[in-house]
């Protein structure tokens, strides 16, 4: 096995940034996130969310493309959420995502930021660079 340290901070939103990631849907999302990560050989370091977007800090082996990893996680999680018997309407992720590389020294700070998403948004202490999901 080759030596690698490829860390990423991924951000993606619900469709039209609607507050549709309810606590019940969060549970499904995290279950799928960790299951897909295991299947794809990814290491999840931290994850957090609000009702309209998620942050995932992970390491991806050089044999995997980031776009494929995000596609698998978003697709599988939306499918699982939509299969919930008590679902209150269709769930969909917005197209696109933000992806930032993280150096080894920055990893703990980014992990803390991702994990504390709800607090950052409640206290208005978000960092713009860590919230971008498109070119705007």
Neighbours of 115 (CB within 10 A): 16
pLDDT greater at residue 127 or residue 61: 61
pLDDT tens column, 36-54: 999 999 999 999 999 999 9
User: How high is the pLDDT of residue 85?
Assistant: 86
| Mean pLDDT value across the chain | 89
User: How high is the pLDDT of residue 44?
Assistant: 98
| pLDDT higher than 90, residue 134 | no
pLDDT greater at residue 89 or residue 56: 56
The class of domain 7-130 in CATH terms is alpha beta
| pLDDT higher than 90, residue 128 | no
pLDDT greater at residue 40 or residue 125: 40
Domain extent listing, the chain: 7-130
Name the pLDDT band for 3 (thresholds 50, 70, 90): confident
**3 state SS for the chain:** CCCCCCEEEEEEEEHHHCCCCCHHHHHHHHHHHHHHHHHHCCEEEEEEECCCEEEEEEECCCCCCHHHHHHHHHHHHHHHHHCCCCCCCCCCECCCCEEEEECCCCHHHHHHHHHCHHHHHHCCCCCHHHCCCCCC
Q: Is pTM beyond 0.85 here?
A: yes
Residue 67 CA, distance from chain mean position = 12
pLDDT tens column, 84-111: 887 777 899 999 999 999 999 999 999 9
| pLDDT higher than 60, residue 136 | no
């Amino acid at each position: 096995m080759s030596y690698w340290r490829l860390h990423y901070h991924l951000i993606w939103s619900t469709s039209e940034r609607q507050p549709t990631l309810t606590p019940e849907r969060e549970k499904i999302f995290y279950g799928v996130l960790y299951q897909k990560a295991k299947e794809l050989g990814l290491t999840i370091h931290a994850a957090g969310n609000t009702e309209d977007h998620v942050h995932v800090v992970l390491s991806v082996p050089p044999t995997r493309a980031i776009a494929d990893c995000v596609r698998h996680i978003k697709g599988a999680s939306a499918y699982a959420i939509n299969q919930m018997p008590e679902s209150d309407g269709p769930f969909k992720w917005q197209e696109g995502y933000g992806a930032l590389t993280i150096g080894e020294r920055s990893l703990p700070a980014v992990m803390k930021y991702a994990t504390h998403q709800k607090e950052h948004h409640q206290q208005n202490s978000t960092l713009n660079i860590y919230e971008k999901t498109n070119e705007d």
